[in-house]
Amino acid sequence: MLRTPFCELLGVEFPIVQAGMGPFGSGSELAAAVSNAGALGTLGGAVRSAEDLRQQLALLRSMTDRPFAVNFTQPWLQQHPESFEIALELHSPVISLALGEPGDLPARAHAGDALFIQQVHTVEQAILAADSGVDVIIAQGSEAGGFGGRISTLALVPQVVDAVGPLPVLAAGGIADGRGLAAALVLGAQGANIGTRFVAAEEASVSDTWKRAIVAAASQDAVKVEVWDDIFDKPGNGAFDVVPRALETSFVEHWQGQRSVAAAERSRLQGEIMAAIQQQNMERFVPFTGQSAGLIADIRPARDIVRSLVEEARAALKGTSRLDDEKPRYE
């Protein structure tokens, strides 16, 4: 068995969450496949029109009768509050939030019979989230793909566990196999939130080019895209200070070295990136990917990924239990 109190709370078999990655891979097909495999699948709700969100949720409902989450970002909900209402209206069992303070969203989720998961990047953010009444906290380390902070997973997770316990904490960032899941549990987390490994799933809605790039990448190929802050305004109103991590492309390499020019041409570059998101060819620009890419060697069905995570974690924990538990003899 590989069960934690998180599993009981969420009604899932395994302590694994497929990360909410906006429109980048986390559509209804992937979310349903992960949930049907016994973990918690997530539909990326940010950067979706109201009509698309309704359609994706209806499709997801038709593909699984197991728990799933809908993920939003705080800046998106600031501009599109109707998205949150749609998630509640369509009875999403779990709502998760990233990139900013939750405010009254946990209470509103609870009023709609939904659980609320909050992603954080610092201990201070975790305490704020706990005080806001969230049900689960994701402590995301800087290794993660997409938007993240500056503190590594190994340092962040145990601090958050200590700060907000007994509230369930999930580890995120740099986890792509069962050894990482086992390490998260040893750090005191009750499971793992995993993104990049599921971007390289057969059911993920990104292009095969993006998936193959993940398989071919080394960890050092996933870089912090600092120029993003020169192209886009920093969101305010409780948003977290984050910078995206992505595979280095010719676009990233070029503009990272010309940040002042990028700032001067920000309107044009914003348009190019937003068009890439809409046209689903973001792999040419900023393909969000974590350092765990170096651990990923193939493109597999989501069900197989979940099974491997569980089997490898069990083996790793069993191996750890064989260590000599005699008291050490110090000189």
DSSP per residue over 224-244, as a string?
Answer: E-TTHHHHSPPP-TTB---EE
Interval 212-221 mean pLDDT: 98
Do 45 and 70 meet the contact criterion of CB atoms below 8 Å apart? yes
Mean pLDDT, residues 14-19 taken together: 98
The answer, yes or no, to whether residue 287 has pLDDT greater than 90, is yes
pLDDT tens profile 34-78: 999 999 999 999 999 999 999 999 999 999 999 999 999 999 999
How much is the mean pLDDT over the chain?
95
Helices (H) and strands (E) in the chain, counts: 16, 11
Nearest in space to 48 (alpha carbons), one of 34, 35, 58: 58
Residue type, 82: E
Please check the confidence at residue 328 and state whether its pLDDT lies above 70.
no
pLDDT at position 282: 92
Residue 326: its pLDDT value, please? 58
β-pair type (146-148, 68-73): unpaired
Question: Furthest-apart CA pair in the chain: how many Å?
Answer: 69
| Ramachandran angles phi, psi of 34, nearest 5° | -65, -45
pLDDT tens per residue, range 292-327:
999 999 999 999 999 999 999 999 999 887 776 656
Cis peptide before 166 (omega within 30 of 0): yes
- Say whether pLDDT at 331 is over 90: no
Tell me, what's the pLDDT at 330?
63
Residue 208's pLDDT band, with cuts at 50, 70 and 90, is very high
Which of residues 121 and 235 earns the better pLDDT score?
121
Q: What is the pLDDT of residue 87?
A: 98
Please state the rounded mean pLDDT for residues 15-36.
Answer: 93
Cβ count within 10 A of residue 148: 26
Q: What is the dihedral of CA 280, 284, 288, 293, to 10 degrees?
A: 120
pLDDT recorded at residue 199: 97
In the predicted structure, residue 257 carries a pLDDT above the cut 80? yes
Closest CA to 41 of 5, 86, 82, 11: 11
277: pLDDT strictly greater than 60: yes
pLDDT digits 0-9 by tens, 156-166: 999 999 999 99
Six-digit token string for 285: 């620009």
Contacts of 282 by beta carbon, 8 Å cutoff, 6+ apart: 24, 206, 210, 273, 276, 288
pLDDT of 24 over the 90 cut: no
pLDDT of residue 306: 98
Composition of the chain by helix, strand, coil, percent to 5? 45, 15, 35
- Reply yes or no on whether the pLDDT at 233 is more than 90: no
Kindly report the pTM of this predicted structure: 0.95
Domains in the chain, start-ordered, CATH in brackets? 5-206 (3.20.20.70), 208-284 (no CATH)
Neighbouring residues of 213: CB distance < 8 A, sequence distance ≥ 6: 247, 283, 287, 289
222-224 and 243-247 strand pairing: antiparallel
Position 221 pLDDT exceeds 80: yes
By percentage, how much of the chain surpasses pLDDT 70?
98
CA distance 22 to 20: 6
Which parts of 85-135 are beta strand (E)? 94-98, 115-120
Which uninterrupted H or E stretch holds 169?
strand 169-172
